[in-house]
Every structure is written in structure tokens, then in C-alpha cells.
A and B are shown apart, each in its own frame.
Chain A
Amino acid sequence: MTAHGFMQIGLYLAALLGCVKPLGIYMARVYSGRGPLKRFVEPLERLLFRCGGIDREREMSWRQYAAALLMFSFVGFLAVYGLQRLQAVLPLNPEALPAVSPDSSFNTAVSFVTNTNWQGYAGETTMSYLTQMLGLTVQNFVSAAAGMAVLVALIRGFTRRHSPTIGNFWVDLVRGTLHILLPLSLVLAIVLVSQGVVQTFSRYREATLLEPSVNAAGKTVTTQGMAVGPAASQVAIKQLGTNGGGFFNVNSAHPFENPTPLSNFLEMLAILLIPAALCYTFGEMVGDRRQGWALLAAMSVIFLAMLAVSCYSEQRGNPALARLGVDQTASRQQSGGNMEGKEVRFGIVNSAIWSVATTAASNGSVNSMHDSYMPLGGLASMWLMQLGEVIFGGVGSGLYGMLVFAVVAVFIAGLMVGRTPEYLGKKIGAFEMKMAALAILLPCAMVLLGTASAVSAQSGREGIFNPGPHGFSEVLYAFSSTANNNGSAFAGLAANTPFYNGLLGLAMLVGRFLVMLPVLAIAGSLAAKKIVPQGPGTLPTHTPLFVVLLVAVVIVIGALSFFPALALGPIVEHFMLAAH
């Protein structure tokens, strides 16, 4: 890797860390009802709540909170499903795209409602502008806001004592959308347009080719059609809300979604921006910022380690190509490395950062094709998802997932210092452990069982594109991605079939709601508890030692659960390539 490469990584991390504090404080104020935009947004909120018959002063128990969340998600699912099925007869469909198939519609509706944004479909050839806007863009906002709402509810669980309630879902949802996601998206979208991201309601563009080309049928092609659309508005929120569902098939590798290195930098920053800043928000809201920094540090440690693996393996290039005499060395004239499935303007470093950031966060957008990564590069991405999407993770969902791990870490650590465990003054009892175990276990189980059924079933095996262990990796990646609500893919897998649409849809539902429910249960249980004051016998949870322990717990659970599966996929592929 060149010095320029290191500089770009440094710049990225510096920019990210620089945003953590201001945005973190801003979000803490929003969720405490003191958002600086209150003056403008409040009248709108009032109107909305009045129409919906919502009393915003009335708080909810965790069960009510969960019920509201489920109801809202279900209604959202129906809307996205309906839009896809009916798009042929609805307006804003200049390319006259037909209705989407029922199984694909189901999969996509689940995908966007669960903040996964797995794309079983190719955007430019499937979705009308109306579907993209009213269905997908809207869910990009609200599914992200719902994840943040659950996090805030959990934080309230830590900060309240003897409280039967954990906040009002509708208030949290609307605040997150209007105060945080909407303003940030608006700014980012416009900057992206300035870089060349398209934003238009007109038909697809057409140009005369400089050199006519020949198509598969042997006919001469003289013109080049170019899919366009209202992309910038959707790209901005897909990055900020850790959604990741692209406007086009190849997502942010598409030059109209991500035209320049600068747009790439901003989109990458947007991936981790809110998940990272939420750590600070957490510290701010629990009244001890060090707690937030500690969680951020734990995330960063694993992130950096995986980034190193990915950069190293991609920059080293493909030995199979090296043997053909291909020049893969990085220099001032080329980025070198494994360029299959990567774009020249991004090169190795910006592709590797993106691939690690997008899988660390449950974003899932891509600017390069993960299927074509070297085994270790693919492993880094896959494993980051398998860790449960807690290394930054989804907006809200990443941090609440990490807090679940913190609960487990505190439990083990507490035992080792001879105290019944407590976190932030809340005793961790059997109920919390049960819920934490469920939240960790269920997505793991879904990945393992989903992969098992797909590689056993004929319809599952048929979708596999690459031969050898890489084919296994494709399936494993798909379930790791969906069951952890990431949405990125080893895109060779032909997953737009009833089999995969159904099974992956199920995985996304499990990964979202069967984690959210235990988390809300923990929030409710903790809120009802007293707060134990800190003493010298209390294990401090803001120290490097605790960070190490937390990292160890996340890694060990992730490694022990997936080591055998990974061994039969990327790991064996790596050794085969080395021996090749």
C-alpha cells in the first residue's frame, strides 16, 4: 500500500471521529426533547400527533412500545408490498416497468422495513420512480428511525429507576426522522448531486456510442441507454440510515450513484456517521461520556483489525492473476491489487474501507463487488456481519446490539471480580441474561440453519454462481447478511427466486424483530430496577481493560459460532489459493 493509501484511511478516520462529538450531542438533545430545530419542527409534530390521536406526553411500557413498533413496521410492509405489486398502474413510471413478482415484492418489502435493504432485484430494471420514492426512500428513513428509537428506549432503561415506562415510540420515531435523518439527508443529497449523482424524474438517457458494439445476439449496438432517476435523494438516506439499498443494481459502484472520489468519501463517512455518533449520545444520556467512548473504542478496535485484513488481502492481489504476468503492484500510476469487481476511481483502499465500513455497520451498500474479493477480504466483511452487526452496526440497532454484548461481558467480568454483575448501576439478573442470550442466539441460529437448508435444497444449490468453496461462501454470506440486517451480498448468488426470496425474507424478520423484542424487554426490566451506586468494588466499564474484555466477548462468540462454517468457505479457499 502506498503512503497515499494510508493517508486516505487516516483522513477517513479523522473525519469520522471529528463528527462523533457534535452529532452525538445534537442527537442526545433531540431525544431529550431539546433539539435545536424544535422551533421549526414542533408545529408539524403537533399536527401529526393530533391527527394520529397520539398523546405525546403518555409514555409506554416496553410491551406497548414493542406493539407500536410492530404495528408500524407491519403497516410499512404492506405499503411497500402494495406499491411494488401495483406500480404498473401507478404514476411516475416512465419506463413502464411491470409489477414486481409476489415473492420478490415480499422479500423487498421485508428487506426495507427491517432496515436490511438486501436487494434481490436490480433497481433500474425493476422499480418505478414512485416505488423508489414512496416505498423505498420512505422506509429508508423510518426503519432507521425505528432502530434509533429502540436504542433510545434501551438507554432510558439504564438511566431510569423504578420506572414502568421507557418512552413513547411515536415521539421517538418522528423525532429521529425529522430532526436527525431528514436534515442530514437533505444536505448530503445536494452535495452528492454537485458531484454528479443524478436527480431527475425524466426518462432514461440515451447517447450515440463512439464505437458501435455488438450484443450477445450478434446485432450491432450504436446507442447507449443510461438509467437515471431521483437517485441522490435516496442515496443520501440509504447511507445515513445504514440502509444500503441502492437506486441501481450495482449500488454505489454505479457512477451515477457514486461518481467521484469525493462523493465516495462522503458516502463512506455517512455509513458510519450516525452509528459512531450514537455512542457519544449514549454516553451523554447515561451521564458518563466515558461509557460511550469505551463502546466506540471497542467497535473501532475490531473495525481497524478487519480493515487491515481487507486492505492487506486486496492490495496483495490475486496470485492466480500474478501467475499470468499481470501487474498488481501499487504505484503512482495505478492502485494495483485485486481489481476484479472494483472501480478505478476508488482503487483498492477506498474499496476496502467501504467494504469493511458497510459490513461493520449494517449498511450493505457496496462500491465494489464483494463476491470478487480475495478470500480474506470477503471473510473480513462476512465475519463483521456474523458478529451480529454490533461493530457500529445499524443506526440504533448496532449500539443496542453492542449493549447486549456489554451485558454479557459485564456478566462474565462481574463474576470474575466476585460481584453479582451490574452495568451502569443496573444489576444484570436471570431475565436480562435470558433476553441477551436470545438476542445473540437467534440471528446466529438463523444464519447457520438458513445456510444449511440452502446448501441442502436443490433450489438453494441452483442459485450458486461460483464453483468450489466460494459457492458455499455465497450462501453463507447471504444468510449472514440478511439475518443480521446488513443487506450486502456476494452478488453472484442468484437470489431472486421464490426459495431465496422467502427464506432470506424470514432471516431478515428474525434478525430484526427477534432482536428488537428482547432488547425492549431488557429496557423494560432495567427501567424498573434501582440504580446501584458505583463503589471501589464495582467493575469500571469505561476502562481499556473493559474494552478489551468486550472485544474479546464479541470476537469469541462470533468466532466460536462461525469458525466451522468459515473454514469450509473463505478459510479453505484462502489456503487453496495459497497452495494454487
Chain B
Amino acid sequence: MSKTMSKISSVDPQILREAVVASFQKLAPRVQLRNPVMFAVYLGSMLTTVLWAHSLATTVTGESSWFIFGVTVWLWFTVLFANFAEAIAEGHGKAQAASLRKTRTSVVAHKLTDHSSRESIEVHATDLQPDDIVIVRAGETIPVDGEVIEGVASVDESAITGESAPVVRESGGDRSAVTGGTKVISDWLIIRVTSRAGQTFLDRMIAMVEGAKRQKTPNEIALAILLAALTLLFLLVVATLLPYSIFSVHVSGQGKSISLTVLVALFVCLAPTTIGALLSAIGIAGMNRLSQTNVVAMSGRAVEAAGDVDVLLLDKTGTITLGNRQATRFIPADGVTEQELAEAAHLASMADETAEGRSIAVLAKRRFGLRGRGLEQIKPHFVPFSARTRMSGVRLNGHEIYKGAAEAVETHIRSLGGFLPEAVHTAVRQVAESGGTPLIVSHDAKVLGAIELKDVVKGGIKERFAELRLMGIKTVMITGDNPLTAAAIAAEAGVDDFLAEATPEAKLSLIRDYQKGGRLVAMTGDGTNDAPALAQADVAVAMNSGTQAAKEAGNMVDLDSNPTKLIEIVSVGKQLLMTRGALTTFSIANDVAKYFAILPAAFAATYPALKALDLMRLASPASAILSAVIFNALIIIALVPLALRGVAYRPVGAAQLLRNNLLVYGLGGLIVPFIGIKAIDLLLSAMGLA
């Protein structure tokens, strides 16, 4: 999707056109009611419209109709601009959704009526129920989300991931989940349906990016309360200004009480319209930004929580290290040559198709030129690796050659009456301490020596962790390794902590412990055995390559299946909150200048002495009020790009961030409107409108 999503630009004329249309459609009261701040502006605009109509109809000399018209027009613009901001953010989402929807054309499914005979009937994908069994052959589209129960096939998932290389899907293990809308390229799959049509992963993804299911997040609700309270406060301030003004006219004996038009104008200028107008756009844009990093969030709440994460659990393998431990050294026991050891190790690894096993063969070949001998002749009996024994090996002419985890092999030879020589024991310990994984090779009851396997830490990972530390996030490495190995790798990779010899239960309880301490935990996972931990974590990113269970348990799915993506996710979450905070501050700071523009203008006739407050020396009272209203409307449009893009986040300490943002948006918000209003006033006078 990186190809499909990120190319949607904010100046796409199609999106712009649609957003303009939507701005007007959103004028429906039902839509406006959703945003209390803008609804108040909406009502104000209606009021001034009535006042304008009234001023046209009556000949009583009051305020000039032109002035009321000017204010009215710009108040409506304020409402429209807010609508536009929301519409354009939604437009991005819609464009993404459209590209996803293309893949969800009506699909015909072959539902198996009899499993063994492969007899099937054609049904519409939408008629499929969970637990139905379907068969999908090469060239067909997988109708709904499901679990592969039989078969191996390569599947093109580019529709949702944007990744053109096909992936392998097979029954059992961690690669059994398939997504509706993806295409089988070769072979066939028998799939058990896991979700109803319309509720598939793809459907949910479309709903999320489209914003159809967008619910207000807790923080958004809290902010909305603050904004509503401010709006109410300013409504009171403005409403009570009328009796104050009447009284002031009474005691000063001059001037006229403040007009309704000016009161409405003042109210709209004071109300936090800037943030009110952009609030929903910021939320939608946050989700969009997340999509652009190829992560699909299942709820806005999760995105928000991402900004708060303080502990990040990372699987060692594939995330911190390249994933495969490699054999780097043979350490023979006393009285055994290195070559003997290498040969035995080679033999024992022959049937070991794991990367580790292969790396032993590679090392043996490189060191001593060993190759696979004619195995058929010696009729070996291979003992494959098993998680229970943690050894693999070969039985050959009544002899047994094994290689495996130090403890496992030690137990094995002891059972045969052997022992672990002191030198080998020391070697094993040294290897483990240096972060490697020691294996032991045995020949019947005799220990031949050890093999050193080493993890290779990914380049640049240490810097990323340092970045996380600056963000205030603690990184914890999860590994099945023994504590010694884990400690060495943890040190090399620069993580803050590690959990060694991790079992799914240990992971779960680690998360619970952190949460009990009040911390917010993020983790990534892909396997079915990660599901409980994913469900427990506050921010759980499932790899798209992972199992259906993992994806169901997580609240985000990373389409790129890149475990370090969490760093981007956290940034997006923080950006989302920061943008809200920055624009709220900006919006409130703006009010100062607006007071200085409108108050002297409104009371110029009653109290000429208040002219002293007109710091901007505006051309006329009418122009002052109009300039403030126009500025208030234009600033919304001016800030749309910022709302969509988000405030830049740099991983520095909280205090530093606050200082920067306060300076830019607080102080800036104080100063900018003084300049802006003055400029508009100059323009109005130049055009002879003031």
C-alpha cells in the first residue's frame, strides 16, 4: 500500500473539488451540531444574516447594511472553512478507501460441500458464514478472511500491503492466515472462513481510513469539553457585554450601546474556532498519516495511546538481530581436533534445515572444505530437531552423533554415562557470556567440543533505541535465549532491559507487571502464541504476515511486517496530541489581539478614552471589527496544512518540547494576529472598503 497510499497528495485537484462540495453539504444542522464550537458560530452567522436582511428592509439609520453584510459573509466563510478542513482530511481517507475497495469486487466462492471429495458449490462471497470451508485455486481471489487448513500456495497480497512479491500461505504454523481480497497465484488452498462478509479485515480497514467508524477518542472528548467550556465562557462574556454597554452609555451620556452584529463578531473571534474547526481534521489526518506508514489502526484510541507508550517489548529475533544465529567457531574438547569436531557437527546438522543448522554446514565447508558425502551409502538415520529434546543428530552404524543446546546434550550424555569435560564447560560459559549461543557436539557418550553460534545485531538499531529513550520509552528485549546470552545481546543492541528464556506466559505476566506499575506497554508480535500478550498490551501491533489470531488480538496491523515500525507509530500518536495542543494554545492566544481590535472599536463612541487600547491603530471601528473576523476565518484555512501534516515531533525531552511549542504556538499565537489584523485592515482601507 506504500505505493497506493502515500501518493495521494494534499493538492490533488479531485480531492479539493470534492472537499469544496462537501463544505457546503456539511452546512446541514445535523452535521454542525456535532461540533459545539462551530455550531455556535453557525448560529451566529444565521443571526447576522437575519440582521442583515432586517437592515435592508428597514430604513432606520443604524449600522450600515454593508458592514453587517461583510461580517455575515465572513462568518459564513468561517463555518465553510471549518467544513472544508474536515472534508479535505476525509477526502484523503476516502481516496485510500477507494483504492482498497477496488479489490473488493463481488467474488464468487467455491464452498466445499464434502471435504474429502473436494466437491464444491458456487456461492456469493457475501453469503459465506464463519466456519464454512472454501477452496481457492490459482488465479482466484480469496473471498473472505480465513485460516488455511490444507494446502500451500503463493498469494499476492499487494492489494492490501502494496508489496508486489507474493507470500507463501500454508496450513499450520504462523503463516496460515489469509485475507479476503488477496489473490492465489499458484497451487490451491482450503480455507476455513473466520469472519462474516462485511466484517473482514479489509472491510474494517476501509471503514477506518474512511472515518466512517471514527469515534471520538478519550483525549479528544476531554479537549472538546475544554473547548465547549471556553465557548460557553465567551458566550457569557459577550452576552453580558450588552447590558454593560447599555449601562455605560447611560452613565457616560454618549454613544450607542454595542450592536448585535458586533457582539456576534466578537463572540466568533473569541470562541476557539481555530482549534474547533480543525479538531476533527487533525484526528482524521492522524489516522491517515498512520496509514501512510503502512499501519492500519483498528481504533483511534490505539493511535492516541501510542503517544503515551512507556515500555516497548520487542522480539529479539528479526527485530533486534538479523534473525538467524550463525555458527562462527568450533571449539574442540581436549584430545579432539577441530576437524573431527567439524565433521561430526556437519554430520549432525545434515538433516537440520534451520538457518542455524545450515550455518554450521557453511562454516564446516569454509574451514575444512567438507561437503555432504554420499549419504545414501552410509544409510544414516537422521534424528530431527525437536523442541522437546532441543537436539538434532544422526544415527550411523550404531553410533549416535548429536549436536544441541548445552544442557540438552549434557543431559543426554550423562544418561549414557558420559560427562562434560571441564574445558568444554568453560568454553560453553565463555560463549554464552559473550552473547553467543553454545552448542555441544557429542559422539555417543563422548563430548567432542562446542560450536559457537552468534547473533548478529542489526545495523543502526542502537541509534533507534537511543531515540526511543529520548522519547521516554523503555525498550525491553524478549528472547528465548538464556539470561547470559540475552544480557550480552541486550548490551550490544542498547536495549534497557530484557526478558530471557521467555515463554508466552512469561511475556503476558511481564506486560501485566508493567501495567500494574501504571505503565503503558506496546508490543509487536506475529505468532499465534503472541496473541494473549498482544491482547493484553495497550498498543499491540500485529505483523500482517502473522497469524489471524495475532491480527485479531492486536489493535494495529503493520502491513510491512516491520517490527521497528512502532517508533513511527509512537511518533504519529505524539504528533496527533501535539497538534491538538499547539492549535488550542494558538487559538486561545489569538484572542488577546482580537480584544485589542474589537473593544476600542465597539466602545469608541461611548468612551473615546478607550481608543488608547487600539494598539494596532486600525483605520475605523468597522474596519477593525471586519479585519478581526476576516483574520479569524483565514487563519483556519492557513492552518489546514499544519493540521493535516501534524506538528513536527522530535525526540527530545518533554520540557524541551513544551518550551519549543509554547514559544512557537503560544507566543506566535499572541503576535501573529496583531500583524495579520493590521495587514487586513491596511488592505481593506487600500481597497476603500474601510
Contacts and interface: CB of A to CB of B under 8 A. Distances in A.
A415 B473 CA distance: 17
Contacts of B577: 414-415, 418-420
Pick the 7 closest A-B CB pairs, nearest first.
A537-B472, A415-B581, A418-B574, A437-B229, A416-B581, A575-B609, A455-B247
Nearest to A556: B588
Contacts of A174: none
B658 interface: yes
B276 to A, nearest CB: 15
Given A418-B649, A563-B599, 15 more contacts: A411-B223, A413-B658, A416-B662, A419-B574, A421-B219, A429-B222, A437-B229, A449-B236, A467-B251, A531-B518, A532-B519, A545-B658, A545-B659, A564-B237, A568-B248
Nearest to A577: B609
Contacts of A472: 244, 247-248, 251
Contact of A538 (B580, B588, B654): B654
Interface in B561-613: 573-578, 580-582, 584-585, 588-589, 591-592, 595, 599, 603, 607, 609-610, 612-613
Nearest to A461: B247
A533 B221 contact: no
Given A412-B584, A468-B251, A567-B603, A417 B658 contact: yes
Interface stretch (A71-79, A345-353, A440-448): A440-448
Nearest to B306: A418
Contacts of B592: 556, 559-560
B504 interface: no
Contact of B654 (A417, A429, A469, A556): A417
Nearest to B253: A468
A52 interface: no
B538 to A, nearest CB: 11
Nearest to B598: A564
Nearest to A564: B241
A537 B218 contact: no
Given A536-B653, A576-B609, A568 B585 contact: no
Given A429-B222, A441-B233, A567-B613, A452 B240 contact: yes
A133 interface: no
A46 B492 CA distance: 64
A537 B649 CA distance: 13
Given A533-B519, A536-B470, A556-B588, A417 B657 contact: yes
B558 interface: no
A524 B575 CA distance: 31
Contacts of B575: 418
Interface centre among B239, B595, B609 (most CB of A within 10 A): B609
26 contacts: A413-B581, A416-B582, A417-B658, A418-B649, A420-B304, A421-B222, A425-B518, A428-B222, A437-B225, A437-B226, A437-B228, A441-B232, A448-B236, A453-B243, A469-B607, A532-B518, A533-B517, A533-B518, A537-B654, A540-B655, A549-B662, A562-B237, A564-B595, A568-B244, A568-B603, A575-B607
Contacts of B238: 564
B236 A444 contact: yes
Interface string B653-667: 111011101100110
Contacts of A453: 243
Residues of A contacting B: mostly:
helix
A515 B588 CA distance: 24
Interface string B238-274: 1111111111100110000000000000000010000
A469 B473 contact: no
B658 A561 contact: no
B657 A418 contact: yes
B595 A537 contact: no
A418 B473 CA distance: 13
Given A413-B581, A567-B603, A579-B609, A452 B243 contact: yes
B307 interface: yes
Interface string A521-551: 0000000001111011111100101001100
B202 interface: no
B640 interface: no
Contacts of A430: 218, 221-222, 225
A471 interface: yes
B307 A419 contact: yes
A304 B369 CA distance: 86
B234 interface: yes
A453 B225 CA distance: 28
Contacts of A543: 655
A156 B508 CA distance: 32
A545 B661 CA distance: 12
A418 B308 CA distance: 8
Contact of B661 (A416, A548, A562): A416
B518 A449 contact: no
Contacts of A545: 655, 658-659, 662
B658 A564 contact: no
B251 A440 contact: no
B658 A416 contact: yes
B559 to A, nearest CB: 24
A420 B576 CA distance: 10
A433 interface: yes
Nearest to B571: A418
B236 A564 contact: no
A419 B223 CA distance: 13
A575 B577 CA distance: 43
A456 interface: yes
Contact of B471 (A441, A537, A552): A537
Nearest to B514: A533
B260 to A, nearest CB: 15
A451 interface: yes
B329 interface: no
Contacts of B653: 536
Contacts of B243: 452-453, 455-456
Contacts of B226: 408, 411, 433, 437
B655 A415 contact: no
Contacts of B599: 563-564, 567
Given A420-B577, A531-B518, A536 B247 contact: no
Contacts of B236: 444-445, 448-449
B310 interface: yes
B603 A417 contact: no
A34 interface: no
A412 B585 contact: yes
A539 B229 contact: no
Contacts of B576: 418
A25 interface: no
Given A416-B581, A420-B577, A471-B251, A571 B223 contact: no
A565 B240 contact: yes
A434 B225 CA distance: 6
Contacts of B607: 469, 568, 572, 575-576
B654 A419 contact: yes
A452 B244 contact: yes
A443 to B, nearest CB: 11
Interface string B484-526: 0000000000000000000000000000000001110000000
Contacts of B101: none
Nearest to A559: B592
Contacts of A438: 229
B136 to A, nearest CB: 44
B518 A416 contact: no
A572 B610 contact: yes
Contact of A530 (B244, B472, B473, B518): B518
B214 interface: no
Contacts of A539: 654-655, 658
Contacts of A548: 662
Given A415-B584, A563-B599, A568 B245 contact: yes
A418 B305 CA distance: 10
B469 interface: yes
Nearest to B311: A535
B234 A560 contact: yes
A545 B663 CA distance: 11
